[in-house]
Amino acid sequence: MRLRVYYEDVDAGGICYHSKYLNFCERARSELFFSKGLSPIDGEYHFVVKHIDADFLLPAKFGDMVTVRSSLIELKGASVRMLQEIANQNSMRIFSMQVTLVCLKDDKISKIPDHFKAILHTNSEL
Amino acid sequence: MRLRVYYEDVDAGGICYHSKYLNFCERARSELFFSKGLSPIDGEYHFVVKHIDADFLLPAKFGDMVTVRSSLIELKGASVRMLQEIANQNSMRIFSMQVTLVCLKDDKISKIPDHFKAILHTNSEL
Amino acid sequence: MRLRVYYEDVDAGGICYHSKYLNFCERARSELFFSKGLSPIDGEYHFVVKHIDADFLLPAKFGDMVTVRSSLIELKGASVRMLQEIANQNSMRIFSMQVTLVCLKDDKISKIPDHFKAILHTNSEL
Amino acid sequence: MRLRVYYEDVDAGGICYHSKYLNFCERARSELFFSKGLSPIDGEYHFVVKHIDADFLLPAKFGDMVTVRSSLIELKGASVRMLQEIANQNSMRIFSMQVTLVCLKDDKISKIPDHFKAILHTNSEL
């Protein structure tokens, strides 16, 4: 999962606006599903973000190509915890976060269905 | 409709990213409804943007307080054309656009319902 | 600091996209300065986000009016830790985060200047 | 220039928020430069958007892969007019705009430097 930092992503200092790193990580999580021909919104099932613990290590600058790396920390009945890290084109780690997602079915907390679990497992080192 | 230009809105040059002016205008259109205690998504009815003709006259800068002024140009059966202008705190006009919106009902083009028309009229000089 | 959840803020589920809460909190931090007639980018000084620990408690929906409440947790030489909480129009707490900011001067870590400290203190219960 | 429509791009209706198409087109213009190993912010030179005339033809939906196609319409001394069109994965044209950009040097209108002109020409059919 490689992506470019564009004009829309940077702020007055020419560096990536802090909350955009969360967007980049969300794109990477969505691509876990899209890359299998599936969607993260599967009928009545989808995930919502419950908790984020994030370290902003170095700034990403306009034009940078960054890479998002996702790995599974813990898979529970209705929730999943992942580590997502962003590196720049010089392989410097610029951002790291642990994110906890909860599975919803028709807007109620639900057990993660098996075909979702499979995706989260098989891509544990994207 | 006054709003501030924040960090998230500006780009590397410290000026407001161009597409954000469209967002500001959309907020102003939504407030036409919210200010009456209504919503622009009314059951099965809502508007979508069909055409935009926009002039970017002057840059808005970080921290600027801008004002969006909306006026009705033409109200047809299923569509509405509005003029929306943004001025900065020094009353300089910085952006001007004509936007054509089409009314949808259950995702099909629909006649604009009367209670929507009333809002577009009574607020013709917001 | 009250603000509306607009079209641009919500995602496919009609609820506020998760990283937008960070934007709302940043707007509130900027308003600490703007409300005093100052700017969070003061000559060579500004803050950058270093760490975030955030709980997403309840969804904000399209049209909701939310309030951001900021309070100082700890003020050190070059960094500040704040608690920022977002509530909806029914006074339900929907988001809570601790954010650590670091002061930069010409892109190097710097002691927070006194006039910045005064702002962070006097507004400790915004 | 292919890109995915993510959660952050769609609104309550599950379709791409209208101003995001402008962002997608800006990314494509920036890639004209990046793909040559250059940057659209070249020392003191960069472009700003002056005018946009845009037709929103069909909605892009969450998960869609869209393609941005850019072609040169007119190159003048200090400005350039381009046609940019977005198509979805079914080759349906969903968005079309003419955008006029003005070249700035140190924030003043400037003749487009020759190495910028070369890029705009050689990529006239991206």
DSSP annotation string for A79-107:
EEEEEEEEE-TT--EEEEEEEEEEEEETT
Query: Confidence class of residue C122 from pLDDT cuts 50, 70 and 90?
Result: low
Cβ contact B15:B60 at 8 Å: yes
Q: Given an 8 Å threshold on Cβ–Cβ distance, is C6 in contact with B41?
A: no
* C105 has pLDDT over 50: yes
* A68 has pLDDT over 80: yes
Tokens of A107: 């807007």
The pLDDT, as a whole number, for residue B126 is 47
Among residues D63, C21, D75, B80, which one has the least CA distance to residue A18? C21
Among residues B44, B50, B52, B47, which one has the least CA distance to residue B21? B52
Q: What element of type H or E holds D29?
A: helix D20-34
For D12, nearest residue in chain C (alpha carbons): C14
* A63 has pLDDT over 90: yes
* D41 has pLDDT over 60: yes
Specify the 3-state DSSP secondary structure of A72.
strand
Give me the mean pLDDT over the D34-61 stretch.
93
The answer to whether residue C11 is catalytic is yes
Cβ contact A58:A16 at 8 Å: no
For B12, nearest residue in chain A (alpha carbons): A14
Number of domains, chain B: 1
The DSSP string of C27-78 is HHHHHHHHTTT--SSBTTEEEEEEEEEEEE-S--BTT-EEEEEEEEEEE-SS
Share of chain B above pLDDT 70, in %: 96
The pLDDT, as a whole number, for residue C126 is 47
Q: Given an 8 Å threshold on Cβ–Cβ distance, is C14 in contact with D17?
A: no
Give me the mean pLDDT over the B64-83 stretch.
95
Q: What element of type H or E holds B49?
A: strand B45-56
For B40, nearest residue in chain D (alpha carbons): D12
Q: Given an 8 Å threshold on Cβ–Cβ distance, is A17 in contact with B8?
A: yes
Cβ contact C126:C28 at 8 Å: yes
* B84 has pLDDT over 80: yes
* D80 has pLDDT over 80: yes
The pLDDT, as a whole number, for residue D76 is 94
From chain C, pick out residues whose CB is under 8 angstroms from the CB of B40: 7
**Residue C3: what are its φ and ψ, rounded to 5°?**
-150, 160
Share of chain B above pLDDT 90, in %: 79
Global pTM value? 0.95
Over the Cα atoms of chain D, what is R_g?
A: 15
Nearest chain C CA: its distance from B41 CA (Å): 9
Its domain, for residue B116, covers 2-122
Nearest chain C CA: its distance from B19 CA (Å): 12
The pLDDT, as a whole number, for residue B62 is 94
Give me the mean pLDDT over the A49-74 stretch.
96
For B61, nearest residue in chain A (alpha carbons): A12
Q: Catalytic residue among B11, B64, B106, B114, which?
A: B11
* A9 has pLDDT over 50: yes
Share of chain A above pLDDT 90, in %: 79
The pLDDT, as a whole number, for residue D126 is 47
The pLDDT, as a whole number, for residue B123 is 55
Nearest chain A CA: its distance from C67 CA (Å): 19
From chain C, pick out residues whose CB is under 8 angstroms from the CB of B7: 26, 30, 40
* C82 has pLDDT over 80: yes
Give me the mean pLDDT over the A86-112 stretch.
96
Cβ contact B46:B99 at 8 Å: no
* B43 has pLDDT over 90: no
Tokens of B120: 């577009």
**How many Cβ pairs closer than 8 A exist between chain A and C?**
51
The pLDDT, as a whole number, for residue C90 is 96
Higher pLDDT, D14 or D34: D34
> Residue D117 sits in a domain of what CATH number?
3.10.129.10
Among candidates C12, C23, C56 on the partner chain, residue whose Cβ is nearest the Cβ of A41: C12
Q: How far apart are CA A53 and CA B64, in angstroms?
A: 32
The pLDDT, as a whole number, for residue A122 is 64
Query: Confidence class of residue A109 from pLDDT cuts 50, 70 and 90?
Result: very high
Q: How far is CA D79 from the centre of its chain?
A: 15
Among residues D47, D66, D48, which one has the least CA distance to residue D57? D66
Tokens of B95: 């952006």
Tally: H helices and E strands in chain B:
2, 6
The pLDDT, as a whole number, for residue B47 is 94
Q: What angle do CA B17, B20, B22 make, to 5 degrees?
A: 135
- Residues from C contacting A (CB-CB < 8 Å) are 12-13, 18-20, 22-23, 26, 41, 46, 48-56, 59
Specify the 3-state DSSP secondary structure of B121.
helix
Residue where the block lists tokens 């599967």 = A42
Cβ contact B1:B27 at 8 Å: yes
Residue where the block lists tokens 């930069």 = C104
